Amino acid sequence: MGLRLFSEYLGLETMLAVVCKTYEGVKALEAYNKEGSIDKSSGLHAFAASIGRPLTGRFLVICLEDIRPYSGEIIADDPQRRLTLLKPRLMNGEHPPGFLGFAVNMITIDSTNLYCFSKTGHSLRETLFNHLFTDLQVYRSREDMLNALSCIRNGAISLDGGMIRSRGVFSLGHHQGDIDVKFPSTSQKLDLPESYFEIEVGLKETKWKKDRAMEDMQREQALLAHARVNYETRKREFLQFLARSSSHVSPVIHPLHGSRELLSAVPSIKSIL
């Protein structure tokens, strides 16, 4: 019931959206010719045509890089990395009866995607699911949901089919048919050692840290190369300045030997540089 309600709330277009980590990934999905028309020989259009299912309409793409992530705290020691969200309160200060939680925290993320981070280091729950559900509240019944109207800000659903799209916008009637989207089953037990998923999560976290360290190192190398170029430029300009300065120094006659010697007041800098 919960997954069906979440699917109905989001809608088919959103449920079938393509999710990209970066804007570069978004650009790779679709290319255009000089006239501004879609080039169907490249990107996702070419792939769809190759499997006999050409794209004829629009499709939604979500870019994690451009999503404003959740800015709060993560529940401590929670393996699912759920968000710390304050429970709603009625005018009398009590929690509304029948409140079950927030939709964003009711999504169970597969262990293989649990440490799928954006470039800014935020998880799927902090970016994608927070963007889709925000603080959508879930109630046991329509009655409970309607009694909690005063503390519903962005939307709510109930297990018996009630739905509030946003504050003051209700979705009434009965949903006709289910959205034809299949979810992978997590109930089937795999014949794997107990430590498998823990090790897998640890490897993903290590890989993410490695990628971040590589990005930091590349940034530092770029700064170092820039500093070296600046240093060589300043060094060349300084040597040119010394050469011009020494050419303007007047020669003097040595009182003892009668020879003409150039007395330069500027010491040699080349040996220092």
**How many domains are there within the chain?**
3
User: Based on the domain organization, do 79 and 133 belong to the same domain?
Assistant: yes
Residue 190 lies in a domain: no
**Cβ contact 108:186 at 8 Å:** yes
Q: What would the pLDDT profile of 123-141 be if each residue is shown by its tens digit?
A: 899 999 999 998 999 999 9
User: Based on the domain organization, do 145 and 96 belong to the same domain?
Assistant: yes
Q: What would the pLDDT profile of 214-231 be if each residue is shown by its tens digit?
A: 777 888 888 888 888 888
The mean per-residue pLDDT over the stretch 170-193 comes to 57
Spatial CA neighbour of 166 closest among 153, 175, 179, 178: 153
User: Based on the domain organization, do 118 and 2 belong to the same domain?
Assistant: yes
Which SS3 state, helix, strand or coil, does residue 31 take?
strand
User: Based on the domain organization, do 55 and 119 belong to the same domain?
Assistant: no
User: Based on the domain organization, do 3 and 114 belong to the same domain?
Assistant: yes
pLDDT at 27 over 50: yes
Strands 61-63 and 169-170: unpaired
**Cβ contact 252:272 at 8 Å:** no
Outline where the chain has alpha helix (H). Answer: 2-10, 12-15, 23-29, 43-50, 103-106, 130-133, 142-147, 196-247
Q: Which residues contact 267 (CB under 8 A, 6 or more apart)?
A: none
Dihedral angle, C-alpha 144, 146, 149, 152, nearest 10 °: 60
Residue 189 lies in a domain: no
Residue 187 burial (10 A CB sphere; 0-12, 13-18, 19+): exposed
Structure tokens at 8: 């109905």
Q: Which of residues 252 and 76 earns the better pLDDT score?
A: 76
User: Based on the domain organization, do 211 and 230 belong to the same domain?
Assistant: yes
CA dist 13 and 15 (Å) reads 6
User: Based on the domain organization, do 106 and 174 belong to the same domain?
Assistant: yes
Which structural domain range is residue 225 located in?
195-249+259-273
User: Based on the domain organization, do 46 and 107 belong to the same domain?
Assistant: no
User: Based on the domain organization, do 159 and 86 belong to the same domain?
Assistant: yes
Spatial CA neighbour of 152 closest among 103, 107, 106: 103
State the DSSP H helix or E strand holding residue 165, giving kind and residue range, or none if neither.
strand 163-166
User: Based on the domain organization, do 180 and 82 belong to the same domain?
Assistant: yes
| pLDDT at 239 (0 to 100) | 85
Identify the domain boundary among 184, 204, 221. 184
Residue 239 lies in a domain: yes
User: Based on the domain organization, do 2 and 116 belong to the same domain?
Assistant: yes
The mean per-residue pLDDT over the stretch 12-32 comes to 90
Residue 5 lies in a domain: yes
pLDDT at 189 over 50: no
Q: Give the CATH number of the domain where residue 90 resides.
A: 3.30.70.1620
State the DSSP H helix or E strand holding residue 19, giving kind and residue range, or none if neither.
strand 18-20
Positive or negative, the CA dihedral 218, 220, 221, 227 is positive
The mean per-residue pLDDT over the stretch 156-184 comes to 75
User: Based on the domain organization, do 5 and 134 belong to the same domain?
Assistant: yes
| pLDDT at 246 (0 to 100) | 76
